[in-house]
Amino acid sequence: MTATYLHADRLFDGSVVREHVAVAVEDGTIVGVVPVDDIPAGAAVRRYPGATITPGLIDSHVHLTPWMVFGLLAAGVTTVRDLGNDLDTIIPLLDAIDDVPLPTIFWSGPLLESEKVNWPPVARAHATGDDVRATVAELAGRGVRSIKLYYNATPEIMAAAADEAHRHGLRVLGHVGATSFDEAVAAGVDELQHLAGCLAADLGEPTLEATGAHIAAADVDHCTTLVVWQAMTHLGAPRGLRDEAMRWVHPDAVVAWAEAHHSSQPAAERVRRSREFTERMALVPYLKDAGRGILVGSDAPFPGLIPGFSLHDEAGLLVESGLTALEAMRAMTSGNAELMGISGAGTIAVGEVADLAVFEGDPTTRIADLSGILATWRGGVELSPDALSDAAARSFAQPATSPVDQLAILRYIPATVAR
């Protein structure tokens, strides 16, 4: 094969923006980043005037279902980290998709909790530290890159799981609840999700400044998922169904989202959630100034979070919270890859997989330009929006039955909550 050259007005390589260069792609690999004037005469060239080529985006927090694949790719997301799933069920379901390439997936296995679990289809219970050690060792043997400790995990469970995970070289992710922020950090968690347990009321701090200093002092990274808290505040609003990106959501999920318990929450609850959402946004600058790792993830398909496109929204919220557009783009590409401990994603460089996204305008200076997705290249193949849409339509004609889709039966009410 001969190389195809992708040429746009700008190239963001995961670190810096360059102009007047083209990316050479051959056999699914980036084989060159060259000045436009050096493109060989007669070479195949794919031009994107007025656009920016970026690495394929990385979503560091999803819970995969087969129907999500199409929206992820349509939004330029080529790598994901799944943070809670039934591997025995979901992997064969994904492997059955043969009309589009899958994103690169990094697994963490089921949500690890104590004897109580919130989401039985994607969680595993543990009575003792020895029990959770056995699960972590099993998951390490299956090749996961991280483990996810969830809401009901006690300090004992967290500490035992973290110790065992680190013995196997795994990253430890935590969502605090039964364990406090400080207890999770002491247990050895490497990364916390959602800024859960990080509010002033959670930490007993008198002011926002004291709260920000408290969390920034802890040597732990954060996957903020601000978009989750925004969705919980606004789910059920009329604008949701007007969003044209809803065409990438399975009809069964649309119904489930409308019936989720927080879609009809009382006004006082929405106001409380809104207040907590803005407090979390206000904590981001403290993390940034302290040099803490900030990962960009969406938690799709939590109700209201459209796969792929909710990652764009998360980047926008991080910019609203104090990151520059360039910092958000770095975080969503090379930054996510570095903090996740993965290679082969997040950068445009010779020898890397040709996973690329093309956006009209320049999202490194105006994050809203993420909305102008023009093309996604996965493994050196350009994915047509029409082809993705047709494949999605075929998939959506079948019921959504994956483990994550089963949460709709619970109306997204944790199993530990009395009904």
Question: Given phi > 0 = left and psi -120 to 50 = alpha, else beta, which region is 45?
Answer: beta
> pLDDT tens digits for 44-56?
999 999 999 999 9
The CATH 3.20.20.140 portion of the chain extends over 57-343+384-410
> pLDDT tens digits for 305-343?
999 999 999 999 999 999 999 999 999 999 999 999 999
User: 239 pLDDT band (50/70/90 cuts)?
Assistant: low
Is residue 419's pLDDT more than 60? no
Is residue 101's pLDDT more than 90? yes
Tokens 């009329």 label which residue? 238
The predicted structure's pLDDT at residue 25? 98
DSSP for residue 42: T
Is residue 351's pLDDT more than 60? yes
Is residue 1's pLDDT more than 70? no
Q: How far apart are CA 126 and CA 266, in angstroms?
A: 35
Handedness of CA 2, 8, 13, 18 (dihedral sign): positive
Average pLDDT in the 183-188 region? 98
The predicted structure's pLDDT at residue 417? 81
Average pLDDT in the 400-417 region? 89
Instruction: Tell me the CATH number of domain 1-55+348-383, given options 2.40.50.140, 2.30.40.10, 3.90.550.10, 2.40.37.10.
Output: 2.30.40.10
Question: Tokens standing for 162?
Answer: 């973290």
Residues 6+ apart with CB under 8 A from 194: 175, 223, 224, 225, 228, 229, 299
Is residue 135's pLDDT more than 80? yes
Least confident of 96-110, 164-178, 224-238: 224-238
Question: Tokens standing for 232?
Answer: 């919980």
Average pLDDT in the 1-30 region? 96
User: 418 pLDDT band (50/70/90 cuts)?
Assistant: low
The single-letter code of the amino acid at 286 is Y
Q: How far apart are CA 304 and CA 214, in angstroms?
A: 31
Q: How far apart are CA 401 and CA 232, in angstroms?
A: 24
Is residue 411's pLDDT more than 90? no
What integer best gives the mean pLDDT of the chain? 96
CA geometry: angle at 148 spanning 146 and 153, to 5°? Answer: 145
The single-letter code of the amino acid at 127 is A
Residue 94 CA: distances (Å) to CA of 141, 293, 300, 403: 21, 30, 16, 12
Is residue 392's pLDDT more than 80? yes
The predicted structure's pLDDT at residue 374? 96
Q: Which residues are 81's β-sheet partners? A: 106
Strand pairing report for 171-174 and 57-62: unpaired
Please provide residue 139's backbone torsions phi and psi, each rounded to the nearest 5 degrees: -65, -40
> pLDDT tens digits for 62-92?
999 999 999 999 999 999 999 999 999 999 9
DSSP for residue 333: I
Is residue 223's pLDDT more than 70? yes
The predicted structure's pLDDT at residue 116? 95
Average pLDDT in the 185-200 region? 98
- How far the first Cα of the chain sits from its last, in Å, is 61
Angle between helices 267-289 and 309-320 (to 10 degrees): 70
Instruction: Tell me the CATH number of domain 57-343+384-410, given options 3.30.70.260, 3.20.20.140, 3.40.190.10, 1.10.1040.10.
Output: 3.20.20.140
Average pLDDT in the 165-170 region? 98
The CATH 2.30.40.10 portion of the chain extends over 1-55+348-383
Q: How far apart are CA 319 and CA 396, in angstroms?
A: 34
Question: Given phi > 0 = left and psi -120 to 50 = alpha, else beta, which region is 173?
Answer: beta
Strand, coil or helix: 150 = coil
The predicted structure's pLDDT at residue 200? 98
CB 15 within 8 A of CB 331: no
Tokens 């929204």 label which residue? 313
Average pLDDT in the 240-247 region? 84
CA dihedral defined by 72, 75, 79, 85, rounded to 10 degrees? -30
Average pLDDT in the 166-182 region? 98
